Structure 1
């Protein structure tokens, strides 16, 4: 009986320590532990019980969508190939794991459809477009070939591309990524332009996904009042995450989902990784 009430106390603390609920999104998968944007990283994100994972996509020469952050393959494979200039079969010969750690030798740069297949029920995948609108017809095709459409969200920095994605796929949430600008003279970070909220509304965007530095309660409140959610990136510090939760952000992208979840949800239980393997 003592243990039962102890569990209830922990559950109460987990639910009431911070106002509302916040999504914890694994940045490029659980990229602190596994090679970024690989199947291993996404499996680890689900094992950590992340609410969502974020991936980056480019279009290859033969019009396949691959999951990679940079315009070149060099950062993750050591071999410098421009993604848009080579066919997917060439990209698939590269090793995207061994530079992270020898234990990950053999990890491939995955196709988007492979990453989508890993998404468990009740979880979400944020798909960040790293190129232009040329990817959209192929992205729509990849999204519609599976039964996980309600679990997918499209994000990106280029407002024109994200707006076009929303018009092409109105049923898919679209979030606008916004970075901080610097003063050209002092190079200090400038406050967020409050007009970004109206710009997002006019574009039909569902949420703003902004850099965490400089996020304020006032901006969150103004966005919420306009019917927009605020998500933030990329937060690996527990205290910063707690502050952002307290001011009302809807989601936090992190390289360390297990760390943040262990701090903000004391009763968080890791899932069985084997249940997410295809």
Structure 2
């Protein structure tokens, strides 16, 4: 089963920062998950929220700052003062680091907002990825926003896509597979609560299923017993 370090080793270090990614790699993780947003000057940066308030010492929307302005904020002290020098990384910085490590890494990049359905942003995304293309690493794009996946598939027929599914009792296997086939997704990533339903059991026979976010060893064992392809966890060091 694939163990994704969710936003890096985010249970132990400030999420979506270089130290969180580096420590995940050092503990043996060979799969990373990260989130991307777009700055005012149309650069791609690695941060989960649309606003910088929760994970930096600043306030406001990512889209209202240039990348240079974003770099002025402290992205580590909210977690612990030991990490006050951590910054919001650009996607390019993360990919450059990945290109210099040994071994293969599976990288899931989640597109957080609808702006990524615009061609100019998707082209920038693809260009950044191709700049650091390596046979040692495999990139997967995921999003809760279906339009993002549709436009990304239209732009690139070969890119690997994952359909992100929020918890909703109204979802059926038929509907999930219908959406997956529209964008030719290789993976379905579901909320952890789907483990309580029969949906996951049926999906595992049809497509690669990953579950988010698994931080409990008992839940990990349940996921493993069901034939889950992978899990996302904040504590990759405890699951590997």
TM-score, L = length of structure 1:
0.79
- Counterpart position of 1:168: 155
What secondary structure sits across from 1:75 in the alignment?
Answer: coil
- CA-based RMSD of the aligned residues comes to 1.7
Structure 2: any 5+ residue segments left out of the alignment? none
TM-fit CA distance, 1:117:
2.4
Does the 8 A contact of 1:192 with 1:214 survive in 2?
no
The C-alpha deviation readout for 1:129-180, integer Å capped at 9, x for no partner, is 0122133111111101112375211111011111221232222210011011
The answer to whether the Cα contact below 8 Å between 1:163 and 1:205 also exists between their aligned partners in 2 is no
- Does residue 101 of structure 1 match 2:80? yes
Q: Is the 8 A contact 1:212 1:235 kept in 2?
A: yes
Is 1:142 the counterpart of 2:128 in the alignment? Answer: yes
SS at match of 2:54: helix
CA distance in 2: counterparts of 1:215 and 1:201, whole angstroms = 22
Please report how far the alpha carbon of residue 102 of structure 1 lies from its aligned counterpart in structure 2 after TM superposition.
1.3
SS in 1 for 2:193: coil
Q: C-alpha distance in 1, partners of 2:70/2:27? A: 29
**Aligned twin of 1:111:** 90
Encode CA deviations 1:214-257: one digit per residue, 9 max, x unaligned: 2268434533443x211110000001011101101101000000
C-alpha separation in 1, matches of 2:217 and 2:204: 24
Comparing 190-199 with 203-212, greater Cα deviation is found at 190-199
Matching residue within 127, 130, 153 for 2:109: 127
TM superposition shift of 1:95: 0.7
How far apart in 2 are the matches of 1:224 and 1:138? 33
1:242 corresponding residue in structure 2: 221
> Which structure 1 residue ranges, 5 or more long, are not aligned?
1-21, 182-189, 262-278
Q: 2:176 matched to which residue of 1?
A: 196
* Superposition TM-score, scaled by structure 2 size: 0.90
Does residue 219 (structure 1) correspond to residue 206 (structure 2)? The answer is no
For residue 214 of structure 1, give the secondary structure of its aligned residue in structure 2: helix
| Residue matched to 1:7 | none
4+ runs deviating over 6 angstroms: none
Query: Quick one: distance in 1 between partners of 2:201 and 2:193?
Result: 17
After superposition, give the CA deviation of every residue in 1:65-100 in whole Å (9 maximum; x if it has no partner). Answer: 000011111111131121111111100111101111
| Residues 1:80 and 2:59 are matched in the alignment | yes
Indicate whether 1:158 and 2:140 are aligned.
no
**CA–CA distance in structure 1, aligned partners of residues 78 and 62 of structure 2:** 18
Q: Give the Cα–Cα distance (whole angstroms) in 2 for the partners of residues 212 and 117 of structure 1.
A: 32
Output the CA distance in 2 between the equivalents of 1:159 and 1:251: 21
Contact in 1 for aligned 2:204/2:228 (Cα 8 Å):
no
- Give the secondary structure class of the aligned counterpart of 1:54: strand
